Every structure is written in structure tokens, then in C-alpha cells.
Amino acid sequence: MGVGSVKEVGPVQAEQMVLNIGPQHPSTHGVLRLKVKTDGEIVSEVIPYIGYLHRCFEKHAESITYEQVIPFTDRCDYIASMNNNFGYVVAMEELMDIKVPERVEYIRIIMAELNRIASHLLALGVYGLDVGAFTPFLHMFRDRERILDIFELTCGARLLYNYMWVGGVSHDLPRNFESICIDFLDYFEPNIPEFNELLTKNKIFIERTADVGVMPAEVAISYGVSGPNLRGSGVKWDVRRDEPYSIYNKFDFEIPVGTGEYGTLGDCWDRFWVRMLEMQESCKIIRQALKTIPEGGDVHAMVPKKIRPPKGSIYRRTESPRGDLGYYIISDGSEIPFRMKMRSPALTALSVLDEISAGWMISDVIAILGSLDIVLGEIDR
Amino acid sequence: MIVDYLIDLIPFAADWPGLVFVSVVVLCAVPVFMFIAVYALVAIYGELKVSSFMQDKVGPMGQGVGLHAGKWGLLQPIADALKLILKEDIIPTTADRKLFILAPFIVFIGAFISMAALPFSQTIIVADMNIGMFYILAVSSLGVLGIILAGWSSNNKWSLYGAMRSAAQIISYEIPAGLSIIGVIMLTGTLSMQGIIEHQTGFVWGILPNWIIFQNPFTFLSFFIFFISGVAECNRTPFDIPEAESELVAGAFTEYSGMRYAFFFLSEYANMFVVAGVAVAGFLGGWQSPIPGLMDSPGWGLFWFMSKSLFLIFLMIWFRWTWPRLRVDQLMSVCWKGFIPIAFVNIFGIGLWKLIIG
Amino acid sequence: MRAYFTTIWESVSTLITGMAITWRHMVNIRKGSVTLQYPEERWPRPERDIGFDQGEYNVIRSRLHVDMDDCIGCLKCERVCPVDCIKIETHRVDKGEDIPDVGHTGITSNGTKKALLVTRFDIDMTECCYCNLCTYPCPEECIYMTGGPNSEKHQIDYEFSQYDRNDMVYRFAKETSEEQVAIATGENGEKK
Amino acid sequence: MTSDQDTFIADAVEKALAGDMDAINSIEDRSIRGKAKAALVKAKRAAKAEQKSESSEESQGGGTPEEKVVQSSLSALLSSVYPDEIIEILNEGKVVQLKPQKWNEIATFFRDHADALLDQLECLTGVDLGTEEPLQVRYNLHSMKHRHKIEILINADRVKPEIPTVETIWRMADWFEREVYDMYGIVFTDHRDLRRLLCPEDWEGWPLRKDYEEQESYHGIVVPKVKEGWE
């Protein structure tokens, strides 16, 4: 119970209290420790301490073969494993100059977008929990379960898929996939307005999130914040559209950006709202993909049994539900990566926390942290 | 009433007044305690089930005794209570031991002795004091003392935050609640609970019950202000910032476990009942039937009082599982900028109404 | 003043809208409930219309099983495992000969003649990451996750929980003493 | 293997190259099918290599013509302003290796110059090039306005690795530099808060260096090298 050091704030001597939020705390979304300096309820400084979930992904990747890395990418961002697989295989295929069959590209995009919806559902639901609303959380989990069912149907796993391989996917889609997927979309899309009525447009929720934790666009770019957090600040930037990978340029989808409808541009509500709209866009992409997916054919490109990329390096980023997920892969021509760096979007999102939450209350710090949608598995890797 | 009745019953009351008084108080206290315990089990079960249904799940279920939670999960609250009682009682080494032990009882006593003035029916009331309403408002504030003690003695920052928030909140929300009650007292001209209820006898035009809530538009508003302030005094969502689990872990109760935690739990539910009971007595006609001629014999009084109170408790549960939580400063501004001005306008309006119309 | 009342109106209306939604869910619980009464009801395996040879597509992630009669001891699964949870020891024996003493069959169900006696095939399921990588390279398809295409042979087991951590190490090879191995391997006795 | 089989495989591969993959997929025997697939891969690779050598002049450089212009213009801009700082321009101007001394100045120039406007630091990677080689830090820069990118490489001495910080220029570099310091021990001079990021404060050694040796024990906890009974 140490009381913080006495620090001079202006002309008045105020005693600051140091508060440890975490590593075990209900709303740190994992094992994160925030050292918060407070003056009463007002927070003057937030210092995140990370590394409690550090599993040496990068060191470990230097001792296993390229295909063995994929199960470990699953475990980095365990909420959106498909997208992590996707980023890795896109980078690897670019490095090895592999062209995968078109059906594989479609399958990958369907899976990645489904996982994006699942990830956003979790982010939004848990955010509701952070601001005290319990029911939307379980409603969203109910729908997320159905997406996980689809994944289980496809690849047997519900959370950590190891589904996308270099040069293909592990299994073809089952024949009843399309009807099940359409069923889900028909069921899910009408639920989004209900979430909005229950939570997004709720006055208490708006009061808690609008104008809170404003992140201006310049700050966001400078901190490397990406994905829905950046778009919440009004920057129309999406790797899927601006640096198209796979076959995203074939699909027609909007990039929702924050508008500051209820408060200032770039506040927590905008970030929340962007995620809500993105789920609709993902539904649109999935519907298009299901309509045009080519039938039949092998789902594995011609890849040598032992993956030995040519000597060289590549940095490729893809759009994960949390933002720009980059892989920096350096190959020395052997079957083991020479260097594997994962640029995780949640790490940059967490680094901006101190900047945007100083001066707010403890409750707001929790709300801001939740709106950044961090996953500690990805931050610590 | 019951107290008076019992004292009259004992023939040698005049000889040993002290002894008789003490035994009568004990005789009354035991049933009230039993009532709170049973009611809390029902309320916890209700809360579990209602919350589950709202979240598209079925809540505690089972096949029978010994198998999970009994038929429809009816044994779940009993299992919860047993678990809490049997759990190890942990007192942190750095805690202020005496205060730490004392705090849960103070909180519980506040809720417990408020029950003494609640008119369950025409006859079932422990003591119908002539200052009944005032008494309830006074002693129900005792709970905040216990919460502050709990927060301070735990020697934990989360607890301290919870306690301070709780104190600020309860003290603030006493004001709109009290101001709303003033309107009732202006109309009835009495502080006695039974007197207030008797004032609400009869029906307007033979249909609309002559309850205070329906007597004029200002009292209608008053009821909601009183009820929502009451929700805030019970620390229920959306005003549960003292124990906001996503921010303060468990607020003032972070360090408590087992039996002591159960007491906080019990007093939260008891407080809910007190708030609901006062709202029913003050605005909703107490133990009187809402429909002319339907079950309005005195024996049905308990039924009507309980069903009205439980309905209000259901409302509180409904609030909790629908809405997010307010922030601490918003909570204050809702109180000081929203409720208190409206409450003052209400007093003024009720007075004018009484002067001009009634 | 106007803003004051607008705010109040907005608050009341949005809060009541929310309450209406939860009410709707509460009264329609019979239709909307998604609960599975777990020990009585099990999670149904999704209906899967694969439409191609199931032997090639082991679409399940559950506990691993090895058909030891078919294992030729090629170590492919051990090598590919990213978490090193598989441990195999083999000894050279006469090709294609049955050795009933140590439970060794000479020829697999695919017709391959075995040249190695597998004396140890341990899988530590506490470490398994269910990535399914080991089942693909197996030339005899003898290592697989139970409950998939081979579900007739092995009932799916959700929990496979144990009271002792060591019981999670599945030992598939028949226990053999050193003498037995020495007799079985004969002059080929070097350990591989 | 009979010559009969060989011709059968060759047939199937030819068909597959013509676009009829079913010819291979329909082979009943697993082993023959595998061989056929392997042969197909070989054939395709040979075809690709041929194609490449033919069209190497057009295909390299990548991307659309405009992109190429922008790419080269960034490195050209750099070589016109800071000719002495450049060690090497690699990969058609997409990658530039710089000397560390003036890196901070160049970074500011890159961020603020109207033709560069590299306002986003995509990624900051530390690399250990080998036990005898120097350490390296790689910066992937990107402009949100011009939509062009460049990669900067800066080497650091292995014994006393020091690189100027760009933490104030791109705030993202704050934590990424801390991570590189944590993993490689590269000191970013003038960094305001250079602490370990992921490892504990009292961790010994720089884990991602190629010559890193694991600790025997940490705070009395023995680090298991080999799993018990799994030798």
C-alpha cells in the first residue's frame, strides 16, 4: 500500500496515488499491467507494462520450419487466427512467388472475413462489458459461436485453426458450406440493428464513450495505429483496398470511417461504430465471394514438400481485424526462417493509450482501453 | 403494531418492563431476519433467471436434488448461500481487523432495522411509528457508514475508491429521494406509514386507484425520481460504480470473502426491498388492491404489498441487465442537475396543485 | 433549456428501447435459448457433407490416436510436430516378419513391409497443440485424431480428462523389456 | 519402378501442364500420384525459370510505371540531398542502406519534405545478420498521402551497437525501438525511455541475437532445456 510520491502539480501540492490495474484485473483483456497515476479519480499518466504473455514467437520461429510456424501464428492473435494465418501465407507466397488456385483465394477471403466478424463481435461485446452492459456481450457471443461452428465444420478447430497453408488451405470446403454460411448471414445481419438499439444508441453508452479518448488522425498515424482505430479517427485507410492482397480488389465494399456523430472525431464511440459498420461490410464481401467462388479443383498449389524460400527478405502487411498485421520474413535459403518479425497492430494501439487517456477518469481509461481492442497474445507474442 | 400487540399480550409486562421489551424485540427480530434470508434467496434466484432469459440462456438448471441445481435450478441460491457460508474467512494481514469485521454487520443492520417500519399489511408491521417514513430514510443511510468502513479497513486501493464513490453517491441521492417523499408527506399530512397508505384508500371515478402516484402529474414524476434514486442508493446498475466490476474489481468488497461477503450481498437485496417497500407504501397504495373489489379483504394485504414490491424489484433487475454503467461524474450530474431541480419543481407543483385543485 | 429537455427525452427513449429488447428476449426464451445442458446434452458434431474421400481429409481436432499395427516407425510425425510432443524409438528388425513376442506385425494394412520395431510411441497430450500437422505426412495414415472419419473405430471423447498429469502421456507402443527387444532384433540389434 | 509407370506419369504431367489436373488427381495409387505431382512441380519450375530469363528485363522492377517512378524518386531524392550518407541502394531503389550518424536528420527530412511525406513507420525490425556480422535495424516507411514506401537499413556494430533514435519523429518507434533494444541490445541514443519492453528488467543477454545462450536459471527457477523423460 505505498502511496505515490509527492509530485508538484501547478501551484498546489497534490499527492498522487499510484494504482496498479492488472496483471489480474477484470478488464485488462489479458495479462496487462497498467501503472496509473491518479489524483482522485483523474488519471494523469498511464504506463503500460507488457510481456506477461511473452512466448518468444520470434525466437521460436528461428528454430522451426516454415510450415510449423503457422500454428504459432494462430496463437499470437488468438481471437482472429485465420487473419494471422492469412497474413503469414500471403507474405510467404509473395516471397516464394507462388500463385495459388483461385478457389483457395476465395476460401481464404471468406474465412478471413468470417473471422473478422467474430473478432469484432468479441471486441464490441467485451467493450459493452467494460462500460457495464452485460447483456449485449452474451448476445454477441451467441452469434460468434455460430461463426466458430462454421470454422469447426470446415477445419475441425474452433479457435486455433492452422487452416491456411503456404500454397493452399488444409481442407476444401464441405459441400454444404455455402448454404450454412448463407444461413448464418441471413440470421446475423438483422441482429446488427438490434445491437445498435440495445447498446450503440443507448444514451448512457453514448455518454460514456462519445468525446472520450479522442485520438486525432495525426497522432494515430504517428503512433502507427491502424485498422478500425485509425479509421475511427477519420482516415480512410484500409490495406485491403489500398494495398490489395489476395483478390480483395475483385470485391465491392465500403471502408467505414468515423464521423464524430455524437462527439468529437476519433473518440471511443467512433471506433466502436466503425467496427459495427465493418461487420456489415464483411457480410457483403462474404456474400459476393460465395456467389462467385469457382467450383472444384485442388486446394493446394504446387508447393515443394520442404518449403525453402529463395534467399531474401519481405515485409508484407495485411488487414487483420485489429489493423495492419505485418510479417517481416528473412530467408537464408534453408527451410528454417532466418528472422521472423511480426508487426502487431495491437502493440501500436496500446502504445497510444498514455497519449489519449491522460486527464480522463479511471472509468474512462478502462473505456479507452476497451475501445482500442487489444489482444495481449499479439502484443507480447 | 406487532410490538404493541405482544406487549399487551404479556400479563406481567408492567412488572418487568425492560425484560419484556427486550424479549419482544427479539421475538420480532427473528422473523424479520428469516424473512430477509428467504426473500434474498428468492430474489437471487429471480435475478439469475431473469438475467439468463434476457441473455438467451436458461440459467441454472438441473434434474433434481443432488443433480446440479435441482429442478429448474431451484436449489442454486441455496447452493450459493451454503458455498458462501462454508468458504474460508480471509482477513488480510494489513487490514484494520476490528473495523473489517464490524463493517458487514453495520451495512446489514442499516437494511435490517429499516424493515421494522415497513407495512407488510394492515396488521403486519413491527412498529407503526408516527415518524415511520422519517425513520426509514434515517436508518437506511446507516449502510453507507459500513461501506466506508469496509473500504477503509480493507487497506486496498480499489476498496478505498469504491467506498469513496459509494459515500458520495449515497449522500447525493438521499436528497432527491427525500425531496420526493416530502411531496407525499405534503399530500398525506402524516409521517406514519400506515397513515400514508390509508390516505390512498378508494378509487377515483370507481376505476383508477386513489394512489399518490396517480393523484397529480407531479407525484407521478416524483415516484420515478424516488425509485431511480432508490436504485442508486442500492448501488445497482446503472449506478453500480462503487462495485463496478470492470473498473474497481469489486469496489469496497474486494477483500471480503465467505460469510462476510454474504452479509454485503444480503444487505444489498434487503436494501432493494426497503426501497421497493417505501415506494409501494408511499406511491403505490401499499397493501391496497389495485382493482375495486378484487381481493381487498385485509388478509390479502400481504399479497398485494409483496407483489407490488417484487414487481419493483423485477424492474431493478431489468435495469441492471439492460443498461451500461454511468461514470462517477455523470452520476453526480444526473443527480444534481437532473433529479434535484425536478424534485424541487415537484414539491412546488404538488403544493400548488393541493392549494388550487385538492 | 431546449437541449436540457431533449437530452432527457433521448435518455428516456433510448433506455426504454433497450428495455423493450431485453423484454423481448426474456419472453421468447423458449425459442431463443442457446444453452446446451452440457453433461446431458453434448455438442453435436457438425453435419459435414465432405463429398470426397474422407480418408484423406481428417476434419477434426481431438485427441490423437495411433494404430500401432500400421506404424512403420518413419518418424515423420515426430519431426513435423512443432511442439515436440511425440517421441518414438525404433529398432531394426527383419523386414516383414511378425514378432508376436513384442506385439509386432510385419505387414501393415496397406501392405507395406515394416523394417522397424517401434518400442516407444509416446504422445504427450498436455503439450499437443491440435494443429493436425502430424496426421498429414503419415504414409500409412495410422496417426489420426479420433472422432473424425474413423469415428466407428473410436468414439469421440470430449473431455479426455485425467486425474494425474502423467496419464495424459499416451503410450501406444506395447511395453517391452530390453531382453525382449534384444531377442526380437537379433543381430540387427543396434538402436536407431 | 517400371518404364511403363514412367511413361504413364509423363503422360499425366503433360496433360496437367495443359490444364487438366484431373489426369493426376484421378490416379488411384497414392505413390504414383505423388510421383506425378512431384514431376509436375519440377516441370512447372523449369518452365518458370525459362520464362524469367526471357523476360527478365521487363518483369523486374515490379508494379506499374508510376509506382516505379515514385520508388526511384525517393532514393534519388535521398541521394541528391544526402549523397554521403548512403552506403548502398538495393532492389531498384526500394531499399537504401544508410550510415547511422545522420539518421535522425534524414528521418526528419523524410517525414517533412513535401515530396516524401513519409508519415507512417510501418515496421521497425531488428536483425542479427550472423555471429560474425553486424546487427541491423530495418525501417519500413510509408506515406499516407503519396502512397509510396521505402525501406531503410542501418547497420550497428556488434560490440557497441548504437543508432540514433527516431522515437520523436514517428512516435510508434518508441515501443518498437524498446523491443529491438530488448531483443538485440541495440542502444538507440537519445531515446527518452529506453527500457526492456517484453523481457523482465533483470533479464540477462539479448535473446534474439544468434549467439544468445539461454540462462541456466532465473530467480532460482531452473530453465528446463530438455523435457523430462523425453530425451
In a shared domain, residues C99 and C155: yes
Q: pLDDT for B283-339, tens place per residue?
A: 888 888 887 777 777 778 888 888 889 999 999 999 988 888 888 888 888 888 888
DSSP-assigned beta bridge partners for residue A47: A35
Assign A115 a pLDDT band (cuts: 50, 70, 90).
very high
Find the CB nearest A222 among D123, D125, D170. D170
Which of C50, C59, C85, C128 to mutate: most A Cβ within 10 Å?
C59
Question: Does the structure show a pLDDT above 70 at C151?
Answer: no
Find the CB nearest A51 among D25, D123, D198. D198
Which of B54, B165, B325, B328 to mutate: most A Cβ within 10 Å?
B325
Find the CB nearest B318 among C22, C33, C35. C22
* Signed CA dihedral, B19, B21, B24, B30: sign only: negative
Find the CB nearest A351 among D119, D123, D175. D175
pLDDT at C48: 55
Contact A213, A364 (CB under 8 A): yes
Interchain CB contacts (distance < 8 Å): C and D = 6
Q: What is the DSSP string of A178-220?
A: HHHHHHHHHHHTTHHHHHIIIIIT-HHHHHHHTTSS---HHHH
What are the grid coordinates assigned to C43, written together?
455438442
Q: pLDDT for C16-48, tens place per residue?
A: 888 898 898 888 888 878 887 776 777 666 555
The residue-averaged pLDDT of B184-203 equals: 84
- Tell me the chain C residues in contact with residue B58 when contact means C-beta distances shorter than 8 Å: 29, 33, 35, 37
Interchain CB contacts (distance < 8 Å): A and D = 82
State the Cα–Cα distance between residues A151 and C8, nearest whole angstrom. 45
Q: pLDDT for D123-138, tens place per residue?
A: 888 888 888 888 888 8
Q: Which residue of D has its CA nearest to A97?
A: D48
Contact between chains at A26 and B241 (C-beta distance less than 8 A):
no
Torsions phi, psi of A81, nearest 5? -65, -40
pLDDT at C55: 44
Q: pLDDT for A355-376, tens place per residue?
A: 888 888 888 888 888 888 888 8
Q: Which residue of A has its CA nearest to D22?
A: A297
D58 touches chain C (CB under 8 A): no
Residue B60 domain-assigned (yes or no)? no
With touching defined as 3+ CB pairs under 8 A, do chains A and C touch? yes
Residue B141 domain-assigned (yes or no)? yes
Question: Does the structure show a pLDDT above 70 at D23?
Answer: no
Residue A254 domain-assigned (yes or no)? yes
The residue-averaged pLDDT of C62-88 equals: 83
Residue scoring higher pLDDT (C53 or B27): B27
Find the CB nearest A139 among B55, B246, B328. B55
Residue whose C-alpha cell is 401499499: B286
Residue A36 domain-assigned (yes or no)? no
pLDDT at D67: 46
In a shared domain, residues C91 and C164: yes
Question: Does the structure show a pLDDT above 60 at A8?
Answer: no
Q: pLDDT for A173-193, tens place per residue?
A: 877 788 888 989 999 989 899
The residue-averaged pLDDT of B150-164 equals: 87
Residue B66 domain-assigned (yes or no)? no
Q: Which residue of C has its CA nearest to B238?
A: C15
* CATH number for the domain harbouring residue C180: 3.30.70.3270
Question: Does the structure show a pLDDT above 60 at D10?
Answer: yes
- Distances in Å between the Cα of D174 and the Cα atoms of A263, A290, C119 are 30, 43, 54
In a shared domain, residues C72 and C13: no
- Tell me the chain C residues in contact with residue A176 when contact means C-beta distances shorter than 8 Å: 47-49
DSSP character for B287? T
What b/e sequence results for C151-183 when a residue is b if at least 16 CB atoms lie within 10 Å of its CB, and e otherwise?
A: eeebebeeeeeeeeeeebbbebbeebeeebbee
Chains in contact with B, where contact means 3 or more Cβ–Cβ distances below 8 Å, are: A, C
Question: Does the structure show a pLDDT above 70 at D60?
Answer: no
Domain count, chain B: 1
Residue B67 domain-assigned (yes or no)? no
Contact between chains at A202 and C145 (C-beta distance less than 8 A):
no
Nearest to C138 by CA among C80, C77, C188: C77
Find the CB nearest C22 among B54, B63, B338. B54
What ipTM was assigned to the predicted interfaces of this complex? 0.81
Closest CA of chain D from C6, distance in Å = 41
pLDDT at B2: 65
Question: Does the structure show a pLDDT above 60 at D202?
Answer: yes
Residue B62 domain-assigned (yes or no)? no
pLDDT at A134: 86
Residue C113 domain-assigned (yes or no)? yes
In a shared domain, residues C93 and C141: yes
**B218: containing domain:** 2-55+76-356
The residue type of A209 is T
Q: What is the DSSP string of B11-53?
A: TTTTTSHHHHHHHHHHHHHHHHHHHHHHHHHHHHHHHHHHHHH
Residue A4 domain-assigned (yes or no)? no
In a shared domain, residues C26 and C113: no
Q: What is the DSSP string of A64-92?
A: S-HHHHHHHHHTTSTTSHHHHHHHHHHHH
With touching defined as 3+ CB pairs under 8 A, do chains B and D touch? no
The residue-averaged pLDDT of A252-269 equals: 86
Nearest to B163 by CA among B325, B136, A35, B171: B171
Question: Does the structure show a pLDDT above 50 at B22?
Answer: yes
Q: Which residue of B has its CA nearest to A370?
A: B246
Q: pLDDT for D43-52, tens place per residue?
A: 665 665 555 4
**C108: containing domain:** 54-188
Interface of C with B in 39-58 (CB under 8 A): 39-40
Rg for chain A (alpha carbons), in Å?
21
* CATH number for the domain harbouring residue A254: 1.10.645.10
Closest CA of chain D from A220, distance in Å = 9
Q: What is the DSSP string of C91-148?
A: EE--TT--BGGGTB-SB-TT-PBP-EEEEEEEEETTT-----GGGTT-TT--EEETTS
Residues of chain A with a CB closer than 8 angstroms to some CB in chain C: 64, 67-72, 74-75, 135, 139, 142, 145, 149, 152-157, 160, 162, 170-172, 174-176, 194, 197-199, 201-204
Contact A120, A321 (CB under 8 A): yes
The residue-averaged pLDDT of C117-127 equals: 84
- Tell me the chain B residues in contact with residue A366 when contact means C-beta distances shorter than 8 Å: 246-247
pLDDT at B113: 86
Question: Does the structure show a pLDDT above 60 at D61?
Answer: no
Closest CA of chain D from C122, distance in Å = 9
Which range has the worst mean pLDDT, A297-301, B86-90, B354-358, C83-87?
A: A297-301
The residue-averaged pLDDT of B14-37 equals: 79
Question: Does the structure show a pLDDT above 50 at D54?
Answer: no
State the Cα–Cα distance between residues D27 and A144, nearest whole angstrom. 41
Assign D57 a pLDDT band (cuts: 50, 70, 90).
very low
* Strand order, beta sheet including C116-124: C86-92, C116-124, C169-171
A222 touches chain D (CB under 8 A): yes
**A156: containing domain:** 57-380
Residue B186 domain-assigned (yes or no)? yes
Question: Does the structure show a pLDDT above 50 at A223?
Answer: yes
Residue A27 domain-assigned (yes or no)? no
In a shared domain, residues C80 and C112: yes
The residue-averaged pLDDT of B143-148 equals: 87
Contact C153, C96 (CB under 8 A): no
pLDDT at D58: 40
Q: pLDDT for B108-131, tens place per residue?
A: 888 888 888 888 888 777 777 888
In a shared domain, residues C26 and C72: no
Closest CA of chain C from B319, distance in Å = 7
pLDDT at A118: 92
The residue-averaged pLDDT of C141-147 equals: 75
State the Cα–Cα distance between residues A4 and A15, nearest whole angstrom. 7
The residue-averaged pLDDT of B215-221 equals: 86
The residue-averaged pLDDT of A222-250 equals: 86
Assign D62 a pLDDT band (cuts: 50, 70, 90).
very low
In a shared domain, residues C26 and C73: no
Residue C47 domain-assigned (yes or no)? no
Which range has the worst mean pLDDT, A275-279, A324-328, B128-132, C102-106?
A: C102-106
Residue A47 domain-assigned (yes or no)? no
pLDDT at D35: 63
Q: pLDDT for B267-285, tens place per residue?
A: 888 888 999 999 998 888 8
Question: Does the structure show a pLDDT above 60 at B72?
Answer: yes
pLDDT at D128: 87
Q: Cβ neighbours of residue B132 under 8 Å, at least 6 residues apart? A: B117, B119, B191, B192, B193, B194
Contact between chains at C19 and B322 (C-beta distance less than 8 A):
yes
Which range has the worst mean pLDDT, A89-103, A291-305, B319-333, D168-182?
A: A291-305
Assign B66 a pLDDT band (cuts: 50, 70, 90).
low
State the Cα–Cα distance between residues C170 and C73, nearest whole angstrom. 16
- Tell me the chain D residues in contact with residue C84 when contact means C-beta distances shorter than 8 Å: 227, 230
Residue B160 domain-assigned (yes or no)? yes
Closest CA of chain A from C129, distance in Å = 8
Strand, coil or helix: D205: coil
A251: region left, alpha or beta (phi > 0 left; psi from -120 to 50 alpha):
beta
State the Cα–Cα distance between residues D142 and D164, nearest whole angstrom. 20
Contact between chains at B324 and A366 (C-beta distance less than 8 A):
no
Find the CB nearest C61 among A69, A156, A194. A156
Q: pLDDT for D78-102, tens place per residue?
A: 777 777 777 777 777 778 888 888 8
Contact between chains at A302 and D151 (C-beta distance less than 8 A):
no
Contact between chains at A172 and C57 (C-beta distance less than 8 A):
yes
Average pLDDT score over chain D: 75
Find the CB nearest D172 among A51, A62, A224. A224
Contact between chains at B323 and C15 (C-beta distance less than 8 A):
yes
Residue C38 domain-assigned (yes or no)? no
Residue A95 domain-assigned (yes or no)? yes
The residue-averaged pLDDT of D186-207 equals: 86
Q: pLDDT for A73-113, tens place per residue?
A: 888 888 888 999 998 998 888 888 888 888 888 888 999 99
Question: Does the structure show a pLDDT above 80 at B63?
Answer: no
Strand, coil or helix: B197: helix
Contact between chains at A19 and B157 (C-beta distance less than 8 A):
yes
B129: region left, alpha or beta (phi > 0 left; psi from -120 to 50 alpha):
beta
Number of helices (H) and strands (E), helices first, in chain B? 14, 2
Domain count, chain C: 2
pLDDT at D228: 67
Which of A172, A221, A329, A340 to mutate: most D Cβ within 10 Å?
A221
- Tell me the chain C residues in contact with residue A68 when contact means C-beta distances shorter than 8 Å: 80, 82, 133
Find the CB nearest A58 among D25, D197, D208. D208
Residue B70 domain-assigned (yes or no)? no
A311 touches chain D (CB under 8 A): no
Contact between chains at B322 and C34 (C-beta distance less than 8 A):
no
- Helix A135-155 vs helix A177-188: angle between axes, to the nearest 10 degrees? 170
Closest CA of chain A from D198, distance in Å = 4
DSSP character for A2? P
- Tell me the chain B residues in contact with residue A204 when contact means C-beta distances shorter than 8 Å: 238, 323-326
